[in-house]
Amino acid sequence: MEVQNKCLKCKSYVEYLQVSGTILLIITKVVVGIFGNSTGLLASAIHSSASLINSISMYIFKKWGGKPANQNYPYGYGKIEYISAAMSSGALILLSLYLFFINLKSLIFNMSGITTGIGIIAPSYTIIPVIIICILIDEMGFYYHQCVGQHFENNTILSNAWVFRTDSISLVVVFLGVLATIFGYIGADKIVALMVLAFVIFTCSKLFIEAVTCLMDKSIPEYQIQKIRSALTGISTLGLAFKLTKVRARLNGQSIFVDVEIKMDKHDTVSHLNQAAEKIKEKVFEVNSEVSHVNVEYSV
């Protein structure tokens, strides 16, 4: 019992430690990167910011996305996390592109002997201990999340563990770039920065596209729709025969909205039609637990 309580306590701290730890790493990387003349470390800070987007989006959904529908928002607040993710990832893409081309211009022109006003300054060796400390923090975050995720069999926590591991890997690359620069390979730090920024642009682009797609009422996978269709085709609705004409489903945040169209006999009463609709809704909720709303339309 004591061990179980300890595990539950660890789980309760997961979100807090992830957000606070990531913010601490971002601030440290930015400050040390600026004063230590390391563009690679600044790029790694942007990489950490991309990870923070996911955490903030999850928090926003838990805070506001689950609010019930009302008169102003009859379909609820499910899309608010995607609005946040699209804005944040879009801003990071623009910032990363700007830094990418600034560093690329400096690297190419200085290596070709052309003066650009953007000289390559070797990073200070004093930033190496800070990089090592950041790597240790990332590894502690990885093992902490991995332990909790495996104990509770939570895939979300396990995926967040790898957020820390990927950040740790990016810092190792930055560490090697700084070492190479100190030993005479002047452009190594900027090359590392370009690599990390390219990865950030790729990651944030995927987040941005996914967020925009979900804002546009993306359909759920076809096999899930087919499962609902098969279940509805096989039910008997209060002895009434009906023809299933269309089944559609779309994402609304973390929830699913389903639209069902049926054709019934013109002699059926309104009461029977409503009872049939309720039976169809019950079946859809039974088939897919992520469905939050079912709309049934019928014609004769």
Residue 151: the pLDDT is 80
Q: How many domains does the structure of the chain reveal?
A: 2
Cα–Cα distance measured from residue 161 to residue 18, given in angstroms and rounded to the nearest whole number: 9
Q: Does this model's pTM top 0.85?
A: no
Whether residue 294 sits in one domain with residue 166: no
Cα–Cα distance measured from residue 67 to residue 209, given in angstroms and rounded to the nearest whole number: 25
Cα–Cα distance measured from residue 187 to residue 68, given in angstroms and rounded to the nearest whole number: 54
Whether residue 115 sits in one domain with residue 38: yes
Q: Does residue 73 sit in helix, strand or coil?
A: coil
Residue 114: the pLDDT is 41
pLDDT tens-digit map of 254-276 = 678 888 888 777 776 777 777 77
Q: Where are the beta strands (DSSP E) in the chain?
A: 242-252, 255-264, 291-299
Whether residue 156 sits in one domain with residue 238: no
Whether residue 250 sits in one domain with residue 131: no
Please count the residues of the chain: 300
Whether residue 42 sits in one domain with residue 105: yes
Whether residue 79 sits in one domain with residue 15: yes
Domain span at residue 50 reads: 2-215
Whether residue 107 sits in one domain with residue 34: yes
pLDDT tens-digit map of 215-253 = 777 788 888 888 888 888 766 555 556 777 888 888 776
